[in-house]
Amino acid sequence: MTAPNAFIKPQLMTAGPTPLPPRVQAVMAEPVLYHRAPAFDALFARVLERLPAVFGTENDVLVFASSGTGAMESAIANLARPGRPLLACAAGKFGERWIELGEAYGADVVRYEPGWGARLDPAEVATLLEANPEVDAVFATLSETSTGVVHDVQALGEVARDHGALLVVDAVSGLGATELRQDEWGIDVVVAGSQKALMAPPGLGFASVSRRALELAAQRPGGRYYFDWNRTANAQGAADPAAPFTPAVTLIRALDVSLEMIEEEGLDHVLARHALLARAARAGVHGMGLELFGDPDDRANVVTAVALPEGIDGTKVPKLLRERYNITANGGQGQLKGQILRIAHCGYFGGFDVLTTLAALELVLRELGADVELGSGVASAQQVFLDAGVALAAPGPA
Amino acid sequence: MTAPNAFIKPQLMTAGPTPLPPRVQAVMAEPVLYHRAPAFDALFARVLERLPAVFGTENDVLVFASSGTGAMESAIANLARPGRPLLACAAGKFGERWIELGEAYGADVVRYEPGWGARLDPAEVATLLEANPEVDAVFATLSETSTGVVHDVQALGEVARDHGALLVVDAVSGLGATELRQDEWGIDVVVAGSQKALMAPPGLGFASVSRRALELAAQRPGGRYYFDWNRTANAQGAADPAAPFTPAVTLIRALDVSLEMIEEEGLDHVLARHALLARAARAGVHGMGLELFGDPDDRANVVTAVALPEGIDGTKVPKLLRERYNITANGGQGQLKGQILRIAHCGYFGGFDVLTTLAALELVLRELGADVELGSGVASAQQVFLDAGVALAAPGPA
Residues of A in contact with B193 (CB under 8 A): 246
Nearest CA in chain B to A333: B36
Please state the rounded mean pLDDT for residues B209-223.
Answer: 97
Tell me what pLDDT residue A390 has.
72
Confidence of residue B393 (pLDDT cuts 50, 70, 90): low
Residues of A in contact with B249 (CB under 8 A): 17, 201-202
Confidence of residue B2 (pLDDT cuts 50, 70, 90): confident
Nearest CA in chain B to A172: B246
Residue A245 near chain B (CB below 8 Å): yes
Residue A1 lies in a domain: no
ipTM: 0.94
Scan residues 128-167 of A and list those with Cβ closer than 8 Å to B. none
Scan residues 263-302 of B and list those with Cβ closer than 8 Å to A. none
Please state the rounded mean pLDDT for residues A314-337.
Answer: 97
Scan residues 103-122 of A and list those with Cβ closer than 8 Å to B. 104-106
Please state the rounded mean pLDDT for residues A132-159.
Answer: 98
Shared domain for A258 and A305, answered yes or no, is no
Shared domain for A220 and A333, answered yes or no, is no
Asked whether residue B360 carries a pLDDT value surpassing 90, the answer given is yes
Last residue of a domain, one of B211, B229, B263: B263
> What CATH number corresponds to the domain at position A288?
3.90.1150.10
Residue B281 lies in a domain: yes
Residue B70 near chain A (CB below 8 Å): yes
Last residue of a domain, one of B238, B263, B288: B263
Shared domain for B144 and B171, answered yes or no, is yes
Cis peptide before A202 (omega within 30 of 0): no
Q: Look at chain A and report how many structural domains it folds into.
A: 2
A322/B37 CB distance under 8 A:
yes
Q: Which bin fits A210, alpha (ψ -120 to 50), beta or left (φ > 0)?
A: beta
For an interface test with B, the pick among A66, A94, A199, A232 (most B C-beta atoms closer than 10 Å) comes out as A66
Residue A245 lies in a domain: yes
Q: What is the mean pLDDT of chain B?
A: 96
Nearest CA in chain B to A200: B32
Residue B203 near chain A (CB below 8 Å): yes
Chain A: give the shortest CA distance to residue B146, in Å.
Answer: 14
B66/A70 CB distance under 8 A:
yes
| CA distance to A308, A341, B5, B18, per residue, from A291 (Å) | 8, 11, 67, 52
Task: Tell me the C-alpha distance between A104 and B220, whole Å.
Answer: 12
Residue B4 lies in a domain: no
Nearest CA in chain B to A104: B222
| Pairing verdict, β A327-328 and A204-209 | unpaired
Task: Tell me the C-alpha distance between A382 and A376, whole Å.
Answer: 10
Query: Residue B67 is nearest to which of A65, A82, A328, comparing CB atoms?
Result: A65
Contact in structure between A201 and A17 (CB atoms under 8 Å): yes
Return the DSSP state at A199.
-
Residue A56 near chain B (CB below 8 Å): no
For an interface test with A, the pick among B229, B250, B333 (most A C-beta atoms closer than 10 Å) comes out as B250
Nearest CA in chain B to A35: B17
B65/A65 CB distance under 8 A:
yes
Residue A367 lies in a domain: yes
Chain B: give the shortest CA distance to residue A301, in Å.
Answer: 21
Query: Residue B32 is nearest to which of A19, A35, A76, comparing CB atoms?
Result: A19
B31/A37 CB distance under 8 A:
no
Chain A: give the shortest CA distance to residue B35, in Å.
Answer: 7
Residues of B in contact with A66 (CB under 8 A): 64-66, 70, 226
Shared domain for A87 and A178, answered yes or no, is yes
Shared domain for A117 and A57, answered yes or no, is yes
Shared domain for B290 and B311, answered yes or no, is yes
Please state the rounded mean pLDDT for residues A343-352.
Answer: 97
Asked whether residue B85 carries a pLDDT value surpassing 70, the answer given is yes
Residue B390 near chain A (CB below 8 Å): no
Q: Which bin fits B75, alpha (ψ -120 to 50), beta or left (φ > 0)?
A: alpha
Please state the rounded mean pLDDT for residues B203-227.
Answer: 98
Residue A216 lies in a domain: yes
Return the DSSP state at A210.
-
Query: Residue A248 is nearest to which of B10, B29, B203, comparing CB atoms?
Result: B203
pLDDT tens figures, A184-217: 999 999 999 999 999 999 999 999 999 999 999 9
A16/B222 CB distance under 8 A:
no
Tell me what pLDDT residue A372 has.
97
**Amino acid (one-letter) located at B3:** A
Shared domain for B278 and B146, answered yes or no, is no
Among residues B308, B253, B301, which one has the least CA distance to residue B275?
A: B301
Asked whether residue A268 carries a pLDDT value surpassing 70, the answer given is yes
Task: Tell me the C-alpha distance between B55 and A69, whole Å.
Answer: 27
Shared domain for A180 and A301, answered yes or no, is no
A10/B31 CB distance under 8 A:
yes
H-state helical runs in chain A: 22-27, 38-55, 68-79, 93-104, 122-131, 153-162, 211-218, 229-236, 249-265, 267-287, 316-325, 351-367, 376-388
Contact in structure between B267 and B78 (CB atoms under 8 Å): no
| CA distance to A101, B59, B223, per residue, from B62 (Å) | 20, 9, 19
Asked whether residue B173 carries a pLDDT value surpassing 80, the answer given is yes
Confidence of residue B356 (pLDDT cuts 50, 70, 90): very high
Residue B333 near chain A (CB below 8 Å): no
Nearest CA in chain B to A34: B17
Interface size between A and B, measured as CB pairs under 8 A: 186
A246/B19 CB distance under 8 A:
no
Beta carbons within 8 Å of A207's beta carbon, 6+ residues apart: A61, A62, A64, A71, A74, A75, A189, A190, A191, A229
Chain A: give the shortest CA distance to residue B21, in Å.
Answer: 9
pLDDT tens figures, A29-55: 999 999 999 999 999 999 999 999 999
> What CATH number corresponds to the domain at position A40?
3.40.640.10
Tell me what pLDDT residue B197 has.
98
Shared domain for A46 and A179, answered yes or no, is yes
Residue A99 lies in a domain: yes
Tell me what pLDDT residue A3 has.
83
Chain B: give the shortest CA distance to residue A105, in Å.
Answer: 4
B73/A226 CB distance under 8 A:
yes
Residue B52 near chain A (CB below 8 Å): no
Chain A: give the shortest CA distance to residue B123, in Å.
Answer: 31
Shared domain for B76 and B164, answered yes or no, is yes
Confidence of residue B3 (pLDDT cuts 50, 70, 90): confident
Instruction: Give the DSSP per-residue string, A311-327.
Output: TS-TTHHHHHHHHHH-E
Query: 3-state class of B224 per DSSP?
Result: coil
Shared domain for B331 and B222, answered yes or no, is no
Tell me what pLDDT residue A209 has.
98
Chain B: give the shortest CA distance to residue A89, in Å.
Answer: 18
Strand boundaries in chain B, DSSP class E: 11-12, 61-65, 85-89, 108-112, 137-141, 166-170, 189-193, 204-209, 291-292, 303-307, 327-328, 330-331, 340-344
Tell me what pLDDT residue B397 has.
63
Q: Domain range spanning residue A239?
A: 22-263
Contact in structure between A88 and A110 (CB atoms under 8 Å): yes
Tell me what pLDDT residue B398 has.
57
A247/B195 CB distance under 8 A:
no
Instruction: Give the DSSP per-residue string, B45-74.
Output: HHHHHHHHHHHT--SPEEEEES-HHHHHHH
Shared domain for B64 and B177, answered yes or no, is yes
Please state the rounded mean pLDDT for residues A266-274.
Answer: 97
Q: What is the mean pLDDT of chain A?
A: 96
Tell me what pLDDT residue A302 has.
97
A104/B228 CB distance under 8 A:
yes
Phi, psi of A64 (to 5 degrees): -120, 145
Residues of A in contact with B37 (CB under 8 A): 322, 328
Last residue of a domain, one of B247, B263, B279: B263
Tell me what pLDDT residue B390 has.
72
Residues of A in contact with B19 (CB under 8 A): 31-32
H-state helical runs in B56-121: 68-79, 93-104
Return the DSSP state at A143.
B
Residue B5 lies in a domain: no
Query: 3-state class of A376 per DSSP?
Result: helix
Residue A10 near chain B (CB below 8 Å): yes
pLDDT tens figures, B128-148: 999 999 999 999 999 999 999
